[in-house]
Structure 1
Amino acid sequence: LSAGQPDPRLLPPLGPHLAALAAEIGPPGGYATDAVLPDLAALARDRLAADGVPAAELTVTGGALDGIERLPAAHLRPGDAVAVEDPGWANLLDLIAALGMRTVGVPVDDEGPTAGGVRAALAAGVRALVVTSRAQNPTGAAVSAERAAALRTLLDGRADLLLIEDDHAAELARVPLHPLAGATAAWAFVRSVSKPYGPDLRLAVLAGDEATVARVAGRARVGAGWVSTVLQRLVVSLWRDPATAELVRHAADSYDRRRDGLVGGLAARGVAAHGRTGINVWVPVPDETVAVTTLRDAGWSVAPGGLYRIAGAPAVRVSVSALDEADLPALVDVTARAARPTPTFTA
């Protein structure tokens, strides 16, 4: 329960879609002339607009992290400070460090980054802010309507700040989206297809202001060039398929049952875990090493919270995607013990 991958048993089958594409597109194509296929762009705009995200300008990247990597590189310089959620996505923390930039942690509760934390980060002079819209990794937080309104007020008129939103869970997050898109002059909204449709589909759509999207697309042209049009056609086929949409809804329901079952079971034992959306549950513990060891000795592998936090309190991350519902009672028992270890007394 430590990997954070989607459940492969719930991913839609790609074989029928690939077979149909093979018959449709014929021999392999040449170098792409457009970064985004028109059909993909039209569908992406419709899907984003339905969630309140303006998407007049968009491009395609090789997954969420690829898009997020290009954004600071297009706007910032080494040494600049980037506000990130604390606890937050471990890969993002590593990426900011690899770009030679500094992270400033923003505390997170179940409704997303706290207004006080964002205010403090802005006062500290951060040049960019990264927000996870829903299914935040590792806490499962989702930005509420009230939190979005408060953050928009804080960000209004900040011409010096790049706003990046990550909606990696997309259709798997069964709560309304409350985007911040457009709150600042420079902004980008990134939505990946990895969690609902499969991690090997290295594709995300990136919407934003005209200058930001142009910089990301321009940088791609002198590097990777474009995202494979075969992959783009495959995503179009998946998006258009009602049977695939039903499979994604089934997957979302399954994740919700497992996650809510773990959070509810722990609450009944007096352990306040977090997991409002997504596939992860964040369990505060007094000692991460003791908790991880206790769970390991009972046959469960979970991730230590130190991988995800900057200044936050100790915790462990439990990913429910590999969890069978029948095993929930046993997992609740041992996780509750790990979160409240029995004191050791010495004479």
Structure 2
Amino acid sequence: MEKTFDARWFVSRLGNPTRRGIAQETAALVRTGALPVGAKLPTVRDLAYELRVSPATVSQAWADLRRHKIISGRGRNGSWVISDSFTPRPERLMSGGLTPRPGLVDLARAVPDPALLPDLAEALAFGAQAEGLNSYARVRILPVLERAVRASWPYDAAAFLATDGGYSTIYTLLHALVPPGAPVAVEDPTGLRILDILEDMNVPIVPVACDGLGPRSDALAEALARRPAMFIFQPRVHAVTGNLLSARRLDELGRLLQRSDTLVVENDGVGDVTNAPRISLGGRMPDRVIHVLSYSKALGPDLRLAVMSSSAVIAEQIQTFRGFSAGWTSRILQAATAWLLDDPATAVRVAHARSVYQARRERLAAEFRSLGVDVEPGHGLSFLVPVAQGHDAASLLSSEGIAVAPGRNFSLAPLDFVRVAASCVPESQAAHTARIIARALTPGDLASSPLVTAPELGPPE
């Protein structure tokens, strides 16, 4: 039976009646066990009255605790302590069958096939001789890497910065450049990890609806009316939908953004596993565009490396902020990436990977269409498969040992699709894979036609 802790109980234990103080001291009471899991908290109005503060102050403190999943509930029903764990969790990343487990066939994560990645031995040997190795000097980017990336960068950028991967860059940009409480506009749907970061930071999210050509101009115009501090979108290929951003649409977005003060973040997470040309608004708005290119999909995730370009002012702001953490990206990994970018054999291997991924997407999509499921192969490493409205095919497939990513992970609104990674499904297994997933798409199918279990899906050939 739950125990209610009334407002007077709190008054004797809370010494700092500010939003931060109430949140921190209540969290301490939970941590020490004085407020056990299951305890019911006083109403916002009652606690505000006893503390002689505004209800908004208590409400904001409760919101902070709710955001960290320490308490739950709101309104007339009150709030309860639900956890004594204080580690923030990327809820979208950890939900929907995305947590690896033995025997799980993972078609949820759009990751490269390890067999198609370049060998790193020679690159790392070159990296071990990097300029300035073992120095504590905080360099933005090694000259050898800057020369290598400039050759194919989509515009003549003023400054470059080597970073520890694409999402690490987004995390840093949001913390360094977005004022507290300022809204951020993001294309909808978007990468689930971007939503995890924004939600953990309690940033007001302004969704910008997309169609088959990219973020819609009318949706961006509506979002810009709210004066967001930043707009984040994916140039080239959308990692969730597999759609290409057209040059005409990019031009329309650029004309709208030029009339605003919003920072523009181009997050190219798919990278060079697509044949689509690199595009950017950087040449149009060099003072406000931040272009981020990840090399994980093409060269390997353990390089943990991306490169961002921006104005010299923004690059210096980011470099200064990085002083709170490592301060610079490994010179070994920077030099190794430069070697791979300059190596003709690696270029051939990446081109081969692109053709294989394209063939796998097209074959798997064709198998779905043969079963009556309307699917387009798209670009990149995955594509979308529609599901019946409100039907949780992702959870059903997860229970059968197959992970696909539910649409709800990529949007603030429910989306009736699942994302299926085609990158690691060889053509020889496409028909079998499509049949298994298609049977889970319509409610009621399983009663008459059980799923084939996941172990029949083998590893990529």
Q: TM-score normalised to the size of structure 2?
A: 0.68
- Cross-structure match for 1:29: 134
In structure 2, C-alpha distance between the alignment counterparts of 1:26 and 1:90, rounded to whole Å: 37
Greater Cα offset, 240-249 or 113-122:
113-122
Aligned length, in residue pairs:
340
In structure 2, C-alpha distance between the alignment counterparts of 1:312 and 1:140, rounded to whole Å: 19
Greater Cα offset, 298-307 or 266-275:
266-275
- Asked if the contact 1:139–1:274 (Cα under 8 Å) also holds between the matched residues in 2, the reply is no
- Cross-structure match for 2:145: 40
Give the SS at the match of 1:137: coil
- State yes or no: 1:279 paired with 2:381: yes
User: Residue type matched to 1:31 in 2?
Assistant: Y
Q: CA deviation at 1:313?
A: 2.4
Q: CA deviation at 1:336?
A: 3.3
Identity %: 33
The structure 2 residue matched to 1:231, chosen from 307, 326, 333, is 333
Q: CA deviation digits over 1:34-80, x for unaligned, max 9?
A: 221111111112220xxx32322111111111211222223221221
- State yes or no: 1:110 paired with 2:215: no
- Cross-structure match for 2:123: 17
- Cross-structure match for 2:277: 176
User: Residue type matched to 1:228 in 2?
Assistant: S
User: Residue type matched to 1:87 in 2?
Assistant: P
Following superposition of structure 1 onto structure 2, how do residues 74-93 of structure 1 map, counting pairs within 5 Å? Answer: 74-93=176-195
Q: Residues 134 and 214 of structure 1: is their aligned pair in 2 closer, same or farther, counting only changes over 3 Å?
A: same
Following superposition of structure 1 onto structure 2, how do residues 1-347 of structure 1 map, counting pairs within 5 Å? Answer: 1-22=107-128, 24=129, 29-48=134-153, 52-158=154-260, 160-184=261-285, 185-287=287-389, 289-293=391-395, 295-296=397-398, 300-342=402-444
In structure 2, C-alpha distance between the alignment counterparts of 1:27 and 1:311, rounded to whole Å: 49
CA RMSD of aligned residues (A): 2.4
- Asked if the contact 1:83–1:126 (Cα under 8 Å) also holds between the matched residues in 2, the reply is yes
- Asked if the contact 1:144–1:178 (Cα under 8 Å) also holds between the matched residues in 2, the reply is no
Which has the greater radius of gyration? 2
Q: CA deviation at 1:316?
A: 0.7
Greater Cα offset, 289-298 or 113-122:
289-298
Q: Which has the higher contact order (CA 8 A, sep 6+)?
A: 1
- Asked if the contact 1:271–1:339 (Cα under 8 Å) also holds between the matched residues in 2, the reply is no
- Asked if the contact 2:237–2:276 (Cα under 8 Å) also holds between the matched residues in 1, the reply is no
- Asked if the contact 1:57–1:209 (Cα under 8 Å) also holds between the matched residues in 2, the reply is yes
Q: TM-score normalised to the size of structure 1?
A: 0.89
- Asked if the contact 1:166–1:189 (Cα under 8 Å) also holds between the matched residues in 2, the reply is yes
In structure 1, C-alpha distance between the alignment counterparts of 2:446 and 2:133, rounded to whole Å: 66
The runs of 4+ residues in structure 1 deviating greater than 6 Å are none
Q: Unpaired runs of 5+ in structure 2?
A: 1-106, 448-461
Greater Cα offset, 280-289 or 292-301:
292-301
Give the SS at the match of 2:388: coil
In structure 1, C-alpha distance between the alignment counterparts of 2:395 and 2:329, rounded to whole Å: 42
- Asked if the contact 2:131–2:331 (Cα under 8 Å) also holds between the matched residues in 1, the reply is no
Q: CA deviation digits over 1:303-334, x for unaligned, max 9?
A: 22221121252211111122121111122233
Q: Residues 312 and 163 of structure 1: is their aligned pair in 2 closer, same or farther, counting only changes over 3 Å?
A: farther
Q: CA deviation at 1:191?
A: 0.5
